[in-house]
Structure 1
């Protein structure tokens, strides 16, 4: 089985744990690194090499201090991919999100529209979007299907 070096960019511990549990079960020979903010994710991608990035779309701008509940940057994931494209870091990104609408009011965009836009804007990076829902196991199957597509040799 191929070794996969994952970056899990997710600010919610329970969601990150669920994602890693699914990936460890299916890709036993893998390593996991973590980030919880836009700034932390950008720094890790700049300094380290990953095979696949699992990216939350909404994250805080900076790593929160203990006990702090920072405001979320609604499209942090899009900004990360823009930064990756600028730096020519063409690492496959899978967006895993529990929201189906991003932004507010006139800026709101659906998950389907966002997927189309990300695919058009970042064709060398964006590899798919998974709708995370703890009430269903379908997100797990969707995630594995995308990772399998990226790791087939």
Structure 2
């Protein structure tokens, strides 16, 4: 299975990568750290599964101490661009926050989860990273994805 993780937080990214590798041995997992680099990677390469953060910088960090602009709904906009480009790769959102306010309005994570399930066929679920059960939720999704890929290849 080939997975892309789009996540700007070093600690969260490392925890997710470690957990995914322990859960599904022999996988390929790449990562990107911003809206722009994640979107480019999705548009240019094929993945079996994408794990998206919701809020992240627009561009990769630079070393010039320039303040990064955080795009509150970056994950939503990536999902939207995938939909417009007819990219059907399955997506799960993992975020540290359960409330969002920005250019799209005010939403709870549950609101976004319902909206995404109604709007995007490739969207699977939203997971709150700050809750203790995030690993259990992600494990279930990963195992289901792995089984779907095995069934598809047979």
TM over 0.5: yes
Which residue number in structure 1 is paired with residue 86 of structure 2? 88
> How do 1:110-129 and structure 2 match up within 5 A?
110-123=108-121, 125-129=122-126
Secondary structure, counterpart of 1:57 in structure 2: coil
Distance 1:32 1:75 in 2: 23
> How do 1:1-150 and structure 2 match up within 5 A?
4-66=1-63, 67-104=65-102, 107-123=105-121, 125-133=122-130, 136=132, 138-150=133-145
Q: With the length of structure 2 as denominator, give the TM-score of the two structures.
A: 0.90
Distance 1:12 1:71 in 2: 14
Distance 2:15 2:84 in 1: 31
Secondary structure, counterpart of 1:108 in structure 2: strand
- Give the RMSD, CA atoms, in angstroms: 1.7
Deviations 1:35-55 (A, max 9, x none): 111110110011111111010
**1:69 Cα shift?**
4.1
**1:102 Cα shift?**
0.8
Distance 1:101 1:71 in 2: 19
Distance 2:34 2:49 in 1: 17
**1:151 Cα shift?**
2.0
Contact in 1 for aligned 2:90/2:123 (Cα 8 Å): yes
Distance 1:71 1:145 in 2: 33
Equivalent residue pairs, number: 147
Structure 1 unmatched runs, 5+: none
**1:68 Cα shift?**
4.0
